[in-house]
Amino acid sequence: MSVWRRTSGGVSSHEAGAGVVAATATLLASVIYWASLWAFIPAVEVPFSVELYMMGYTGFVFFALFVAPLVGFVVGTTVWRWKLSPASSPRHGAFAGFVTALGTVLAVPVLFGLLLAGRELMGVSPALFASPVDAFVITTQGGVVYWSLFTGVILVPLGALVGWAYQRRGQTGSR
């Protein structure tokens, strides 16, 4: 008999727990990124457009701070549900943590790009980009370059480590 029970939505407590662990690791990496901005960049010159700076860069930092843990939860739960069982080895857990972290650092900029493309599509004034496609491409690329790379350096190894530890704990807890 398994220690892990299915909840009403069909997700086991082991899978949901993996999502919570992934969300926590993602929140930690996002907070480290946010804190490093204040520590290492005390005075940033505003680029060519104040609106673009506030919506594009500063907006993305706060968007990532709040949305990345939710994305980490969803991706972590999905990866654990799709690929792992409580009997899987800790090595599989490390790989799942790696995939979860990588999926999270790529999904967050795409979601922000979609958000700003939707803003442009609705015709909100002031228009920051020439078209919704430009809004999506530019903000997604900026998020990948300025957030995903730095956060990924922290989150991918952290995700692999906590995935290994979580799966190891789940393996010993089910015996």
Extents of the domains making up the chain? 13-173
pLDDT at 116 over 60: yes
Nearest Cα residue to 136 out of 112, 111, 113: 113
Average the pLDDT over 103-115 and give the result. Answer: 96
CA distance 38 to 113: 24
The backbone torsions φ and ψ at residue 6, rounded to the nearest 5 degrees and listed phi first, read -80, 135
Q: Quick one: what percent of the chain has pLDDT higher than 90?
A: 55
Q: Nearest-CA neighbor of 82 among 90, 92, 91?
A: 92
Minimum mean pLDDT range among 70-74, 100-104, 163-167:
163-167
* Cα gap 20→25, rounded to integer Å: 9
pLDDT of residue 2: 47
What average pLDDT does this structure show over 27-44? 80
pTM beyond 0.85, yes or no: no
Residue 57: the pLDDT is 73
Residue with tokens 């005075």: 43
pLDDT at 120 exceeding the cut of 80: yes
Q: Average pLDDT over the chain, rounded to whole?
A: 85
Instruction: Count, in order, helices (H) and strands (E) of the chain.
Output: 6, 0
For the ranges 43-47, 87-91, 104-108, 151-155, the lowest mean pLDDT is seen at 43-47
Query: What's the token pair of residue 36?
Result: 């490093």
| Model confidence pLDDT, tens digit, residues 51-77 | 666 666 778 888 999 999 999 999 999
